[in-house]
Amino acid sequence: MPSSTVALSIDVEDWHQMVSRAFGVEQWDRPNRHFERQMREVFDFLDDVGGSATFFMLGQTIKNYPELAQEAARKGIEIATHGFGHEQVFTLDEKQFRRDVETSIDLLVKHTGTRPVGYRAPLFSINQDTVWALEVLSELGFEYDSSLYDTPKVPRRIAGIPRRATQLELPSGRTIWELPPSTLDLGGFRLPMGGGSYWRLFPSWVLIPALRRIASRDESRALYFHPYEFDSEPLVSPMPAELSPRNLLRAGWVTARYWVGHTQLLTRLRKAGQHFGFLRYRDAMDEVRSTLGARARSLSRAGVIL
Ligand SMILES: [Zn+2]
């Protein structure tokens, strides 16, 4: 991966629907104008910075907004999948997981004519208990996965998550490439800095040198964001009037938390785009594959990468 580039991804899911579902709102699965505005702003941002990106699209979202997948494909954005229902993989069994991914593939093929080669699990939820998920992805023809993120937020995460794009040899002997989001080595502690939380928190003078440092070690420069992080308007979550006071407080907290540092995030991301140039995950993986070649590392059945 050339040191001048950063792989950019957007997990395309409707934040409003997800929050409504989490709070038990009836008819949470309705298209809404907020999400459409956010996606317009994502497209405008990419046009403006002049780079490309990968969209890990949620099947549930494509079902509601098929034209967005079509527009992204027309623009040359890589369309990858985020599964269908946004269930954490370790809450599913193998059969349910396979069905979830296949449903999302079918929707993408139907609406864009292209079968995705990349997958990212909701909340990076492929862990030591779900090594079989990578086998399923390989069987379904996926070339790469980007679900292994070295962050304490993932319970029982895979041990030995690679710091750069790596080909994994699975217990069955099948292989799949892993493209992990960026982490920064801070004297033995790894800061998972690939996503929006950290980009809302830290200023550019921390983030840009951090990416340079990661580049100098030839480690993975791969970022992930969400459409709501591109919204120029305050987040509004449609809550029913019958929510209990406790749930109303929780809903307010969830919304406020996602809003903190929001306006600075895009300024920082724009600067990163000017410094490095954004590219699609698939292209980043191809670069690594052509420069390093296929030096597979083994992933054991117990979820340890050797
Ligand atoms: Zn997600």
pLDDT digits (tens, 9 = 90+) for 168-194: 999 999 999 999 999 998 888 889 999
How far is the C-alpha of 249 from the C-alpha of 199, rounded, in Å? 25
238 or 172, which is more confident? 172
CA of 4 to the centre of ligand 1 (A): 27
Query: Quick one: three-class SS letters along 23-73?
Result: CCCCCCCCCCHHHHHHHHHHHHHHHHHCCCCEEEECHHHHHHCHHHHHHHH
Q: List the chain domain ranges.
A: 6-298
Give the model's confidence band at 149: pLDDT under 50 very low, under 70 low, under 90 confident, else very high: very high
Q: Looking at the predicted structure, is the pLDDT value of residue 301 above 90?
A: yes
CA of 86 to the centre of ligand 1 (A): 6
CA of 213 to the centre of ligand 1 (A): 28
CA of 61 to the centre of ligand 1 (A): 11
Q: At what angle do helices 204-216 and 262-276 cross, to 10 degrees?
A: 40
CA of 84 to the centre of ligand 1 (A): 10
CA of 301 to the centre of ligand 1 (A): 26
CA of 291 to the centre of ligand 1 (A): 31
CA of 293 to the centre of ligand 1 (A): 31
Which of 135-144, 209-218, 232-241, 262-271 comes out lowest in average pLDDT? 232-241
pLDDT of res. 101: 98
pLDDT of res. 16: 85
Cβ–Cβ < 8 Å for 283, 214? no
- The pTM for the full model equals 0.94
Q: In terms of CATH architecture, what is 6-298?
A: Alpha-Beta Barrel (3.20)
Q: Looking at the predicted structure, is the pLDDT value of residue 14 above 90?
A: yes
CA of 37 to the centre of ligand 1 (A): 18
Q: Looking at the predicted structure, is the pLDDT value of residue 1 above 60?
A: no
CA of 122 to the centre of ligand 1 (A): 4
Give the model's confidence band at 238: pLDDT under 50 very low, under 70 low, under 90 confident, else very high: low
CA of 11 to the centre of ligand 1 (A): 6
Give the model's confidence band at 294: pLDDT under 50 very low, under 70 low, under 90 confident, else very high: low
16 or 116, which is more confident? 116
Q: Looking at the predicted structure, is the pLDDT value of residue 129 above 60?
A: yes
Which protein residues have a CB closer than 5 Å to ligand 1 (ion)?
A: 11, 13, 122
CA of 123 to the centre of ligand 1 (A): 6
CA of 18 to the centre of ligand 1 (A): 9
CA of 181 to the centre of ligand 1 (A): 14
CA of 100 to the centre of ligand 1 (A): 14
CA of 292 to the centre of ligand 1 (A): 30
How far is the C-alpha of 147 from the C-alpha of 157, rounded, in Å? 10
Q: Looking at the predicted structure, is the pLDDT value of residue 239 above 70?
A: no
Q: Which two tokens stand for residue 20?
A: 């409504």
Cβ–Cβ < 8 Å for 84, 100? yes
Cβ–Cβ < 8 Å for 92, 100? yes
